């Protein structure tokens, strides 16, 4: 992807934040990030174990944001949508 394409993708991306629970270390945060990055609609994930949250950047508006909550819960962590 060219720099221009990346910039256009970033500008048209949709963002939302999840609250997380059960993160005890950087490894936990990495596991959440890796899980969410496997989803095809996800462009980027920033996880903060200090803030118990993550910011998810998507290619398009999510049809069902609960899909991301369930993905995190399936690997053993708590998750909920934040405003």
Taken in order of first residue, the domains within the chain and their CATH numbers are: 3-82 (3.30.70.100)
| The pLDDT value given to residue 5 | 45
Which tokens hold the place of 36?
Answer: 């969410």
The mean pLDDT of 5-29, rounded to a whole number, is: 79
What CA–CA distance (Å, rounded) separates 63 from 20?
A: 21
Summarize the confidence of residues 1-16 as an average pLDDT. Answer: 58
Burial class (CB in 10 A: 0-12, 13-18, 19+), 18: buried
Above 90 in pLDDT, residue 13? no
Angle 76-26-70 (CA atoms, 0-180°, nearest 5)?
25
pLDDT at residue 35 tops 90: yes
């Amino acid at each position: 992807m060219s720099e221009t394409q990346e910039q256009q993708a970033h500008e048209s991306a949709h963002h939302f934040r999840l609250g997380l629970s059960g993160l005890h270390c950087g490894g936990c945060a990495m596991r959440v990030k890796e899980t969410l990055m496997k989803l095809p609609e996800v462009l980027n994930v920033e996880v903060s174990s200090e803030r118990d949250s993550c910011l998810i950047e998507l290619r398009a508006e999510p049809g069902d944001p609960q899909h991301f909550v369930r993905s995190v819960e399936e690997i053993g962590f708590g998750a909920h949508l934040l405003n």
